[in-house]
Amino acid sequence: MNAEVTERLRLRNGLRQAIDRGEFVLHYQPQIDLASGAVTGVEALLRWQRPGEGLVMPGRFIAQAEESGLIVPIGEWVLAEACRQAMAWRLEGLAPVTVAVNLSAAQFARGGVEAVVQRALRDSGLPPDGLELELTESILLNNTEQVLAVVQRLKGLGVRLSVDDFGTGYSSLSYLKRFAVDKLKIDRSFVADLLTDADDGAIVRAIVQMAQGLELGTIAEGVESESVAHRLAELGCREAQGYWFARPLPAADLAAFLRQRAPAGAP
């Protein structure tokens, strides 16, 4: 227990210093249109370049960041950096892609999310439709009226909204209509055994059909084989991301990936 407490304190202190020292970096995982193979967007994923340890994955530190409240300033940095980088790619002449950024429940609880998003867009020059905000079901179903007002204002800015890890938490689906989201992100837990588990196949099929009925997009995460990608396309899923297409990449490598995937004759 002492060792656990010591590690938690060490992580929190390290996170505070990481913000000031600029130790955080973003990697970007491509999102692929299953019909055409085109890159439609990227998801911004946080990494910590911790001195003496190298690249630390978020599973090691996000819980502590949320418990300590440090996720709020970290989240602000992620939004600003993701928008800046997405605009930088456009200025390099690369085809415009949407950048997806996760918002935490703590950011909503603290308030001011709308102002943070507006500032990130204004400072970067990124058009609002170039940003997609990923919200969890728990965010949308807690303090519903307050959150609804915030989400409606975000939607009014012109940004896109998606529901992350869809299908893992709640049975009530009425919020999909109320919050006017654009896309459902099918959780990797349903995708991993899609070819071998009939229940997972039925769940994915149901999500896709429901999304089609509501005129929402769908994207599957955690796609690690061609056969799974093919099956998702058969089921009508529009987009996918996962190791089969590409691992999360540093910004420079992602730019090279976009150039490689650009249609013939494109700049």
Question: Tell me: the pLDDT tens digits for 124-163?
Answer: 999 999 999 999 887 877 767 888 888 889 999 999 999 9
Q: How far is it, in rounded angstroms, from Cα 82 to Cα 106?
A: 19
The answer to whether residues 122 and 132 touch, using CB atoms and an 8 Å cutoff, is no
Terminal CA-CA length for the chain: 57
- Give domain status of residue 135, yes or no: yes
- Give domain status of residue 12, yes or no: no
What is the CATH number for 163?
Answer: 3.20.20.450
- Give domain status of residue 224, yes or no: yes
- SS3 state at 22: coil
pLDDT tens for the chain, 267 residues long, are: 676 767 777 788 888 889 889 999 999 999 999 999 999 999 999 999 988 888 999 988 898 898 888 999 999 999 999 999 999 999 999 999 999 999 988 888 787 899 999 999 999 999 999 999 999 887 877 767 888 888 889 999 999 999 988 876 655 677 787 888 899 999 999 999 999 999 999 999 999 999 999 999 999 999 999 999 999 999 999 999 999 999 999 999 999 999 998 765 454
- Give domain status of residue 14, yes or no: no
Q: How far is it, in rounded angstroms, from Cα 141 to Cα 13?
A: 32
Backbone angles phi, psi at 184, to 5 degrees: -110, 130
What number of residues does the chain have? 267
- Give domain status of residue 192, yes or no: yes
Residue 248 CB-half CA count within 13 A: 16
Amino acid identity at 66:
E
- Give domain status of residue 157, yes or no: yes
- Give domain status of residue 60, yes or no: no
Tally of structural domains, the chain: 1
Range of the domain at 216: 31-44+69-248+255-261
Residues 6+ apart with CB under 8 A from 36: none
